[in-house]
Structure 1
Amino acid sequence: MADQTPKLHIAMLPWPAFGHMIPFLDLAKNIAQKGHWVSYLATPRNIQRLPKLPPYLADSITFVQLLLHNDNSLPENAEATMDIPPHNMLDLKRAYHGVQEDVAQFLENSTPDWIIYDIFAYWLPPIAADKDKNSAYSYKA
């Protein structure tokens, strides 16, 4: 008898540091191996620098590109903590917070069942709750 368990769509949004992105990718692979579909949200350059997916998982993990909103305070091509000196960390945080509209648009179009996010995306729960008015989840700030 075939497995009749409904498969989930899980969205993942890590902080743009490889110490966060690699464990998120490992978790995405484990989730995908269980038959679920994962949308991994990251910047284009960070997606390119992640380890390649095994071919058997390529259809189960989709990389969604988010553009950082750099106000020219970050060095050119800086998309992760490894690309910047420590004094630019606040600039990276501001640029990362600028992806909120893109994430909201993704949630509007994709409606994932679960969202796994990093601590730096503290702004995500109210956006997700707003997109899913019928959800049992309610967020109170």
Structure 2
Amino acid sequence: MSSEADDFGSNTKSLHFLLVPMMAQGHMIPMVDLARFLAARGTLVTFATTPVNLARIQTTIDGAAASTLPIRFVELHFPTMEAGLPDGCENADLIPSADLFVQFMNALSLLRRPLEAYLKDLDLTQ
């Protein structure tokens, strides 16, 4: 092994993963499990989702917080109004009508702005 490989852990910054799950219930809890797995191996993990989705997995979040693993949970504004969706329609299973699926997908693409704003303000030294 080269000395570079031997020194990998001591000469590099800690890894920081950003997880942004698809706004569908079947994606949320497995992504929290992935966050726990990564954090248990010494990496900082930021889990970004919307207020409604965070509320729906609050018990799972509480368990992750109790574990004292380095996981941040970040709320991003989901642009329901901008996309023509009813308030609170932040998850695929909350779409009240199949006619609104295109608007939901458009809202997902609009989530880019709040995510970019969060990343610009992110202090990577923490």
TM-score, length basis structure 1: 0.67
Q: Which residue of 2 aligns with 1:56?
A: 67
Q: Which amino acid aligns with 2:115?
A: V
Q: Which has the higher contact order (CA 8 A, sep 6+)?
A: 1
Higher share of residues assigned helix: 2
Could you say what secondary structure the match of 1:7 adopts? coil
Tell me how far 1:48 sits from its aligned partner: 1.2
Tell me how far 1:110 sits from its aligned partner: 2.5
* Correspondence for 2:93 among 82, 95, 117: 82
* Correspondence for 1:66 among 51, 54, 76: 76
Gaps of 5+ in 2: 1-8
Number of residues of Structure 1 aligned to a counterpart in Structure 2: 109
Q: Which amino acid aligns with 2:71?
A: I
Runs of 4+ in 1 over 4 A off after TM superposition: 3-6
Tell me how far 1:6 sits from its aligned partner: 4.7
Distance 1:11 1:111 in 2: 13
Q: Which residue of 1 aligns with 2:26?
A: 19
* Correspondence for 1:37 among 44, 50, 67: 44
* Correspondence for 1:46 among 41, 53, 67: 53
- Whether 1:100 and 2:116 are equivalent positions in the alignment is no
CA shift in 2, pair 1:76/1:34, >3 Å = same
Distance 1:80 1:40 in 2: 16
Percent pairwise identity: 28
Query: What CA RMSD, in Å, does the superposition of the two structures yield over aligned residues?
Result: 2.2
Tell me how far 1:72 sits from its aligned partner: 6.1
User: Structure 1, residues 84-141: CA drift from partner, whole Å, max 9, x if none?
Assistant: 13322111111121121211122222276xxxxxxxxxxxxxxxxxxxxxxxxxxxxx
Gaps of 5+ in 1: 113-141
Who wins on radius of gyration, i.e. which is larger?
Answer: 2
